[in-house]
Amino acid sequence: MVSKCPGQNTQFWGPGDIFTIECPKCGNGVEFFKDDIRRRCQSCSHMFINPRLNLGCAGWCQYADQCVGTIGKEELKDILTSAIKEYFQGDEEKIDHALKVLRFAEKILETEEGNPKVVISAAILYDIGIYEYEKDPERVHVSDQGGDGLSAVRGILERSGIREETREEICGIIAAHSYLHQTDFINSKIVYDAVQLADLSGPCEAEGKKGREKTIKKTFFTPTGKKMAEEIYYK
């Protein structure tokens, strides 16, 4: 991991680009630069993610591959998990659901050949996208720059140093949630299956075993997702 971006000259940074964050374990102040992914607390040695991480420079920077290119899968997961916790602010149910989608997506990725960066990002951030749509379906369409109601998701992806074409693919998957039944792309298929798996784990007694069997038969896109659903929910 490169902890400092070689393309950024701190000479041009503003006062908000270096800041102190309280250690979530002991409360000690820990100084962060905006492009530090994580730092260790000097007092209790707890290592934690920079909650105000901003790798926005990576979208255009010539050094992005040396810098953000080295962000591993675990790191990306940590960064996006921290972003979703920040967004849903203590709403444990929503946070749990998003993390559940992530776990299912990773499990499916073990067998299906998707792009981990795209699938993992879309899986974690999926619920933020849906929440934004549900919050205000009308306004979201008019005011959003990307035109698809996903400005919150875009902002997080940008700060996480994800390149534009990848950001677009991730947003495309989330934006297409309302016409779920048609997709030819494996990354979308994996994400949608992970969402279905997470949703099925909620209470739906009324549906009964027969109904559930039917749902599983018709909702899943990947053989792995379908098999997992049968194993977990239809025994």
Closest CA to 46 of 26, 32, 29: 26
- Looking at residues 174 to 203 of the shown chain, list those that interact with Zn ion (rule: CB under 5 A): none
Q: Does 162 bind Zn ion (CB under 5 A)?
A: no
How many CA atoms within 13 Å lie on the side-chain side of 95? 13
Q: Please pick, from the candidates 10, 43, 66, 143, the single residue that binds Zn ion as defined by CB under 5 A.
A: 43
Beta carbon of residue 213, minimum distance to Zn ion (angstroms, whole number): 50
Strands (E) in the chain, as ranges, are 18-22, 29-33, 38-40, 47-49
Query: Is the dihedral angle over the CA atoms 164, 48, 103, 74 positive or is it negative?
Result: positive
The tokens for 100 are: 């559940």
Q: Does 25 bind Zn ion (CB under 5 A)?
A: yes
28 vs 21, 32, 84, 171, 181, CA distance in Å?
8, 13, 24, 37, 50
Q: How far is CA 23 from the centre of its chain?
A: 23
Beta carbon of residue 23, minimum distance to Zn ion (angstroms, whole number): 3
Beta carbon of residue 41, minimum distance to Zn ion (angstroms, whole number): 3
Nearer to Zn ion, 28 or 115 (CB): 28
Task: Give the single-character DSSP code of 81.
Answer: H
Nearer to Zn ion, 47 or 232 (CB): 47
Q: Does 46 bind Zn ion (CB under 5 A)?
A: yes
Q: Please pick, from the candidates 17, 28, 172, 201, the single residue that binds Zn ion as defined by CB under 5 A.
A: 28
Nearer to Zn ion, 41 or 130 (CB): 41
Beta carbon of residue 31, minimum distance to Zn ion (angstroms, whole number): 13
Beta carbon of residue 50, minimum distance to Zn ion (angstroms, whole number): 14
Binding part of the chain for Zn ion, among 42-50, 102-110, 160-168, 219-227 by CB under 5 A, reads: 42-50
Burial 110-130 (b: 16+ CB within 10 A, else e): eebebbbbbbbbbbbbbbbbb
